[in-house]
Amino acid sequence: MEQFNVPCHKIAAASLTDAGLLEKIRATGKSVILSTGMSELSEIDKAVALLDKEKLLIMHCVSQYPADPENINLRAMRTLRERYGTPVGYSGHELDLSTSAAAVALGACAVERHFTLDRKMWGSDHKASIEPSEMETVISNIRIIEKAMGDPAPRCLSVEEPVKAKLRRVDSI
């Protein structure tokens, strides 16, 4: 990949335990996207130790194609973020389109989805991929969630002022 001068390297979940590969990739000095599917925390610990955490994005994923909703475990993203102190994203292999937006709501800073023009095409990834119109829906859902997240400070919004004036009965607090 280095001959193509890629801006970063993606380590597939299948290669997470390949210490030689991880060391060569770290030596490039480039950023790394690390998928964690089919991995135990102890394996992820070892992989992260071999990489530069300052240039690392960890992607939570489940290596099931397509992934069943009960196996996705989006809460694992929090564990990864807290344990390694790195940004965490989500790599989805499910057919449901709402899970990607839920991952964003739970703090995913990146979302990766397999993409195909037609699920009927030959190859194992196509059945677990989303088609163009579905990708548009995923992106739209994520943009709505990003707007809806707001900020952590509760306050009376300007759009609430007329409702407050009409419905609030007592101002004695």
Residue type at 41 in one-letter notation? L
Average pLDDT (32-53) is: 98
pLDDT, greater one: 172 or 135: 135
124 pLDDT above the threshold of 80: no
126: left (phi > 0), else alpha (psi -120 to 50), else beta? alpha
Is residue 49 a contact partner of residue 43, using CB atoms and an 8 Å limit?
no
Q: Is 41 left (phi over 0), alpha (psi -120 to 50) or beta?
A: alpha
More confident residue, 150 or 26: 26
Which CATH number among 3.40.50.1220, 3.20.20.70, 3.40.50.1110, 3.30.450.40 corresponds to the domain 2-167?
Answer: 3.20.20.70
For the full predicted model, state whether its pTM sits above 0.85: yes
Q: What is the mean pLDDT of the chain?
A: 95
* Domain chopping of the chain, boundaries: 2-167
Higher pLDDT, 108 or 152: 108
> 168-173, long-range: CB within 8 Å, 24+ apart, which pairs?
none
Q: How deeply is 65 buried, as exposed, middle or buried, from its count of CB atoms within 10 A (0-12, 13-18, 19+)? A: middle
Q: CB-side exposure of 158: number of CA atoms within 13 Å?
A: 0
Q: Is pLDDT above 90 for 61?
A: yes
pLDDT at 127 over 90: no
Residues 122-132, mean pLDDT to the nearest whole number: 87
| Closest C-alpha to 39, from 94, 88, 76 | 76
pLDDT at 46: 98
pLDDT at 170 over 80: yes
Instruction: Using a pLDDT cut of 70, give the percent of the chain over it.
Output: 100
Residue 144: pLDDT above 80?
yes
pLDDT at 128: 86
- Per-residue model confidence as pLDDT tens digits over 64-100: 989 999 999 999 999 999 999 999 999 999 989 999 9
pLDDT of residue 169: 86
